[in-house]
Structures are given as structure tokens and as C-alpha cells.
Amino acid sequence: MSKKPLNLVHLSTLVAVAILVGTELVGASWAAGWALGGLFQLDPLISRIFEVVFALAGFIGLFFFMRTAVRHEPIR
């Protein structure tokens, strides 16, 4: 079985979307963790933990977004 060749237009679209949405989603979630830490005047360690947890949530959201994007814009 031979695989179909890569569709470079779809691939470049998905890479661009991953960069754009990833930057916004992870950046906004990281900033939300930072803002909550500052708003509640938490210890710096606790604030960093909030930032990391929110950033991980952003990466998980990006994963599910990209999984759906690849379904709608197939690479092959």
C-alpha cells in the first residue's frame, strides 16, 4: 500500500494555526495563573504552581484543538 503524498497547503495551514492558537491559548492561560497568584497575593512558589497548572491546561486545550483541526484539514 502506498500512502498519498503530503498536501503541503494543508500542512502549512495547520502549522500556522498551531503557532497562532498555541501562542494565544498557552500565553493566556499562563497569564491567568500569574494574575490569580498576584490577585490573591499568594506565595511566589504557589503562584508558579498556578502558572504551570494553567499552562498545562493550555497545552491540553491546544492538543484537542489540533486533533480536531487535523480531522477537518487532512494532511494526506
Per-residue pLDDT reduced to its tens digit, 46-63 = 999 999 999 999 999 999
20-52 per-position pLDDT tens digit: 999 999 999 999 999 999 999 999 999 999 999
Please indicate, yes or no, whether the overall pTM of this predicted structure exceeds 0.75: yes
Cβ within 8 Å of residue 27, ≥6 positions away: 58
What is the rounded CA–CA span in Å between residue 25 and residue 31?
Answer: 10
Evaluate whether 33 touches 51 at the Cβ level (below 8 Å): yes
Name the pLDDT band for 4 (thresholds 50, 70, 90).
confident
The owner of cell 492558537 is: 21
Name the pLDDT band for 1 (thresholds 50, 70, 90).
low
Q: How far is CA 66 from the centre of its chain?
A: 8
Evaluate whether 22 touches 55 at the Cβ level (below 8 Å): no
